Amino acid sequence: MNATPRRVEHQQTDKGSVPVYTTAVVEQPWSSYSREDHGTWAQLFERQQKILVGRAAREFIDNQRKFGMTPHAIPKFDELNRVLKSATGWELIGVEGLLPELTFFDHLANRRFPVTWWIRRPEQIDYISEPDLFHDLFGHVPLLLNPVFADYMQAYGCGGVKAHGIGGDALVNLTRLYWYTVEFGLIKQDDGLRIYGSGIVSSKGESIYCLESPAPNRIGFDLQRIMRTRYRIDTYQKTYFVIDSYEQLMDATRPDFTPLYAELVKLDSIPAGSVLPTDHVFHCGSGEGWAKSGDV
């Protein structure tokens, strides 16, 4: 454990913005948060709480309440861990920024969820290009209290270690699954489509856009289809995938992916905004306002 954790952010170079990776596990330096940091948490927390009523998945809202997170101060990882460990055996660990893939997978495979210790600056309130404490805690942690989702996250970590051994193409396929479920997933509940993806719940604009805008596609979950679908990291998504339940996610991903990766190598990737004849379409996007540039 380090004495003073660093704040590791992307760097501007002559090639543009590049991500920087770090592997240290750190103690949350709670007393070093400034009034401004706590204020940023409060502002983001209150704003999202209001927006997410009737938009976020039931389990997300209920579990957030179980943690006792409030706008008053940045939560202490130790206190959240008391609730989390006894419920699903997961543990939050503090990190300084982005982790290399294999390190990230290894933590998940061991039920450790890495949380960036630092929070965004006031000028980044509406948009930040990398995960910070608000995204990680507010966005990811509530669903770790759900037993099925908790198992899915661990299985993903194990799958990641395996895909890493298989090679680059497998990792690309697997990362798309994470992107379109854990980060940007929607779920069909009794009263309509709801958000469970962390990248959405931690974003003011996208939590409204993903459900209410006519522009994006909303398509039923399909494992192989998702693993072929490209995505953009710097705009709202062109397509959201809808699960029926967390059990569906777990059941679909339980089989060994090795033969699937071998199959996928032979198939082309699918542009982020495409709708295929085989898709189960909840909503076919109008595409209005979409960036003309290609998907990653």
Residues that bind Co ion (CB under 5 A): 198
To ligand PHE, the closest distance from the beta carbon of 243 in angstroms equals 12
Show contacts with ligand PHE in window 242-261 (CB under 6 A): 253-257
Token duo for residue 107: 């933590």
In angstroms, what is the minimal distance from the CB of 240 to ligand PHE? 18
Under rule CB under 6 A, which residues in 256-285 are in contact with ligand PHE?
A: 256-257
Q: Closest distance between ligand PHE and the C-beta of residue 91, in Å?
A: 20
The neighbouring-strand residues paired with 281 are 219
Give dist(CA 107, CA 220) in Å, integer: 30
CB of 171 to ligand PHE, least distance (A): 11
Phi-psi region of 198 (alpha: psi -120 to 50; beta: other; left: phi over 0): alpha
Comparing CB distances to ligand PHE, the nearer of 181 and 217 is 181
Closer to ligand PHE by CB, 173 or 203: give it: 173
CB-nearer residue toward ligand PHE: 164 or 283: 164
Binders of ligand PHE among 177-206, rule CB under 6 A?
177
Residue 162 as a binder of ligand PHE (CB under 6 A): the answer is yes
The residue among 178, 238, 174 whose CA lies nearest residue 206 is 238
Sheet holding 239-243, edge to edge: 192-195, 186-189, 239-243, 217-220, 281-283
In the bound state with ligand PHE, the residue whose beta carbon lies nearer, of 196 and 236, is: 196
List of residues contacting ligand PHE (CB under 6 A) = 152, 155-156, 158-159, 162, 177, 253-257
